[in-house]
């Protein structure tokens, strides 16, 4: 083994060691019973409090697994920069792991990302390239791809929209946790589509445990919406990891209804939700109304703390 | 004529056109010209009363029309009106 090879191997082992320590702060989130927004006999709703992880959102799971798999395979080393496009939460999750493990990070973020996200990424030391606010993360992905093409030696392009480590984090983590926390009684899983990793991975994982489980996907009802991270698939670039055969049913959620749930969840359940978390809960409540019996589980991706502007905008309109 | 810049997710409804040349004296009239030309766009931009829907942000140049005169903001022939999603991640 040459000195350079030896150095690289030691670097890789050090990175994996650092990540191993951080793995204790990913997943294993509480399952919260929704009992005041909903109390229909025979139908229960539970929600995973996904903000109780390193980085404060559900994206801890895929971001960690993407980094872990890339380091393990030798694609991401201390010499390379981790590169991806994000609307924010995955970027923040990458940034906390990168800061703690000593990985250099470059993120492509649409310019209209919330101010809190911008501040967090700056504080965490990420290099941020702002992209067109007209094009959302579709445009940010194009910029990231071009950066990678122009200098493939410098970057490891994580490509969360097409990386199997994204949905597998939920297959091996979220789905198993839900199964254990409900003692195998979960009958319906419902979640919004963004990168589609949560729905695809959790859905596949639960179906492997119970082939009869019902999987319901959620989308915003309009292309211009306020559900950060969600995709209106008809008008967006569909992620490569999306499994269009998985869902038993598709429901659509209006931003206004999600914000109404956001308001009520705080007042009645003590849950201060992000708009997309509130949209998942809106979908779960609508589904509960249709059922006579069942155990519905959804995920609450993050809390309200990164959405001050848009929540104020909603409150001003009320 | 004023120019309206259409964001990517709405171009499906404008035959992939990124720009629209609009007649009108106000932002509201320009938006009306746009939704009259592309009828399928209307439901995504304005409510039943013709007012901009929640969470649709419109800029005149670099200024949010909410800090000007909202939909009644006057426009010039060389005005640039931008429709911007309220959030970054919703379209991807």
Mutation site, A88, A111, A129, A136, interface B, largest B CB count within 10 A: A136
- The domain made up of A60-157 has a fold known as Rossmann fold (3.40.50)
**Interface A-B: count of C-beta contacts within 8 A:** 129
Q: Do domains A20-52+167-317 and A60-157 have the same CATH topology?
A: yes
Residue located via tokens 């509480």: A30
What is the distance between the alpha carbons of residues A29 and B24, in angstroms, rounded to a whole number? 54
Residues in Cβ contact with A169 at an 8 Å cutoff, skipping those fewer than 6 apart:
A61, A62, A64, A65, A66, A197, A201
Query: CA geometry: angle at A258 spanning B6 and A191, to 5°?
Result: 95
Interior/surface letters B16-33, b for 16+ CB within 10 angstroms, e for the rest: eeeebebebebbbbbbbb
| pLDDT > 80? residue A263 | yes
Average pLDDT over chain B reads 90
* Residue closest to A27 by CA, chosen among A2, A51, A47: A51
Q: Supply the pTM of this predicted model.
A: 0.92
Q: Which of A86, A223, A310 sits opposite B44 (nearest CB)?
A: A223
**Nearest residue of A to residue B14 by CA position?**
A235
pLDDT of residue A76: 96
pLDDT of residue A7: 59
* Residue closest to A282 by CA, chosen among A260, A301, A249, A315: A260
Domain boundaries, chain A: 20-52+167-317, 60-157
**CB neighbour class for A307 (10 Å; exposed up to 12, middle 13-18, buried from 19):** buried
Complex ipTM tops 0.85: no
Q: Does domain A20-52+167-317 have CATH number 3.40.50.920?
A: no
| CB-CB under 8 Å, B45 with A136 | no
Least confident of A5-14, A206-215, A259-268: A5-14
What is the distance between the alpha carbons of residues A99 and A10, in angstroms, rounded to a whole number? 19
Main-chain dihedrals φ then ψ at residue A213, nearest 5 degrees? -65, 140
Element at A190 (helix H, strand E): strand A188-192
| CB-CB under 8 Å, B82 with A87 | no
* Partners of residue A136 in chain B, C-beta under 8 Å: 7-9, 85, 88-92
What is the distance between the alpha carbons of residues A94 and A107, in angstroms, rounded to a whole number? 9
Domains by residue range for chain B, with CATH: 2-85 (3.10.20.30)
* Partners of residue B43 in chain A, C-beta under 8 Å: 222
* Partners of residue A137 in chain B, C-beta under 8 Å: 88-89, 91-92
pLDDT of residue A98: 97
A168 labelled catalytic: no
Span A174-232, pLDDT tens digits: 999 999 999 999 999 999 999 999 999 999 999 999 999 999 999 999 988 889 889 88
Query: Over pLDDT 90: what percentage of chain B?
Result: 71
pLDDT of residue B86: 76
Asked if B40 is an interface residue toward chain A (Cβ–Cβ < 8 A), one would say no
Span A89-116, pLDDT tens digits: 999 999 999 999 999 999 999 988 888 8
């Amino acid at each position: 083994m040459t000195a350079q090879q030896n150095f690289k191997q030691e670097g890789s082992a050090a990175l994996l060691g650092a990540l191993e320590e951080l793995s204790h702060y990913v997943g294993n989130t509480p399952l919260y019973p929704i009992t005041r927004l909903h109390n229909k006999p025979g139908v229960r709703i539970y929600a995973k409090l996904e903000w109780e992880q390193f980085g404060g959102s559900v994206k801890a799971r895929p971001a960690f697994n993407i980094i872990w798999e890339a380091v393990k395979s030798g694609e991401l080393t201390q010499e390379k920069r981790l590169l991806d496009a994000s609307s924010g939460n995955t970027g923040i999750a990458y940034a906390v792991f990168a800061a703690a493990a000593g990985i250099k990070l470059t993120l492509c973020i649409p310019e209209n990302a919330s101010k809190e996200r911008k501040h967090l990424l700056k504080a965490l030391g990420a290099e941020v390239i702002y992209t067109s606010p007209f094009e959302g993360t579709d445009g940010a992905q194009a910029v990231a791809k071009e950066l990678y093409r122009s200098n493939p030696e410098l970057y490891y392009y994580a490509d969360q929209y097409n990386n199997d480590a994204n949905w597998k984090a939920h297959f091996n983590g979220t789905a198993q946790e839900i199964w254990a926390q409900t003692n195998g009684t979960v009958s319906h899983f419902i979640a919004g589509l963004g990168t589609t990793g949560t729905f695809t991975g959790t859905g596949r994982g639960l179906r492997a445990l119970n082939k009869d489980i019902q999987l319901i996907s959620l989308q915003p009802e309009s292309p211009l919406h306020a559900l950060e991270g969600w995709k209106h698939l008809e008008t967006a670039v569909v992620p490569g990891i999306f499994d269009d055969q998985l869902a038993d049913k598709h429901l659509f959620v209006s931003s206004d209804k999600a914000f109404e749930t956001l308001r009520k969840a705080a007042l009645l359940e003590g849950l201060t939700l992000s708009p997309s978390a509130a949209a998942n809960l809106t979908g779960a409540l609508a589904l509960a109304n249709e059922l006579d019996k069942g155990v519905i589980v959804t995920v609450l991706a993050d809390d309200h703390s990164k959405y001050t502007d848009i929540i104020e905008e909603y409150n001003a309109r009320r | 004529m004023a120019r309206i810049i259409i964001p990517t997710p709405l171009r499906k409804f404008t035959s992939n056109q990124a720009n629209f040349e609009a007649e009108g004296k106000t932002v509201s009239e320009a938006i009306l010209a746009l939704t009259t030309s592309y009828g399928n766009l209307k439901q995504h931009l304005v409510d039943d009363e013709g007012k901009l829907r929640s969470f649709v942000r419109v800029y005149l140049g670099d200024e949010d029309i909410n800090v000007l005169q909202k939909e009644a903001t006057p426009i010039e022939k060389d005005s640039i009106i931008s429709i911007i999603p309220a959030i970054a991640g919703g379209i991807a």
